[in-house]
């Protein structure tokens, strides 16, 4: 059985052509990932950065999406779980996830970072730019998300407390 992401690429000529052009370029894998992020977010009309999500509010509401997420954020979350993965694979997965209204489960991030029995509400901070995004945990660092250089933050509410 073929990988669903590869099926998506193979079934979309524009996406396939862009990725082929980028793959054949003489730039580094990181630069290729950044270029893929730019071109595919534009082609597919996806929010690249957190500040881009506001123009999709009607779409999120119509589709029952409670928390908006940009490709930058999804990529940072994927990188948290797969820090050694090729940046090109991560960004394509992030784009695929957003295009298909799926994404990294934030509860899994909290459980991985704080353990199975997390008792509090937690913040996940996102800092960086483009494919160089990363997540931080203000409670763990003992600093505000602003002081950690985050450009946005997501609050995870523990409903069982």
pLDDT tens readout for residues 27-66: 999 999 999 999 999 999 999 999 999 888 887 888 787 7
34 Cβ neighbours under 8 A, 6+ residues apart: 91, 130, 131
Burial profile 142-161: b = 16 or more Cβ within 10 angstroms, e = fewer:
eeebeebebbbbbebeeeee
Longest Cα pair distance anywhere in the chain, in angstroms? 53
Predicted local distance difference test score (pLDDT) of residue 57: 86
Q: In the chain, which stretches have pLDDT less than 50?
A: 161
Predicted local distance difference test score (pLDDT) of residue 8: 96
Predicted local distance difference test score (pLDDT) of residue 125: 97
Say what the pTM is: 0.93
Question: What ranges do the domains of the chain cover?
Answer: 4-156
- Token look-up 């992020």 returns 37
| φ/ψ (deg, to 5) at 122 | -125, 155
């Amino acid at each position: 059985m073929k990988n669903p992401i590869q099926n998506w690429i193979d079934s979309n000529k524009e996406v396939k052509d862009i990725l082929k052009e980028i793959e054949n370029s003489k730039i580094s894998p990181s630069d290729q990932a950044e270029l893929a992020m730019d071109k595919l977010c534009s082609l597919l009309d996806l929010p690249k950065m957190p500040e881009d999500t506001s123009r999709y509010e009607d779409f999120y509401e119509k589709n029952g999406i409670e928390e908006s997420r940009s490709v930058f954020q999804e990529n940072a979350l994927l990188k948290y779980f797969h820090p050694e993965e090729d940046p090109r694979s991560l960004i394509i997965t992030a784009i695929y996830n957003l295009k298909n209204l799926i994404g990294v489960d934030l509860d899994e991030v909290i459980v991985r970072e704080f353990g199975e029995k997390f008792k509090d509400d937690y913040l996940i901070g996102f800092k960086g730019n483009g494919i160089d995004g990363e997540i931080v945990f203000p409670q763990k660092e003992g600093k505000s998300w602003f002081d950690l250089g985050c450009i946005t933050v997501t609050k995870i509410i523990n409903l069982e407390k």
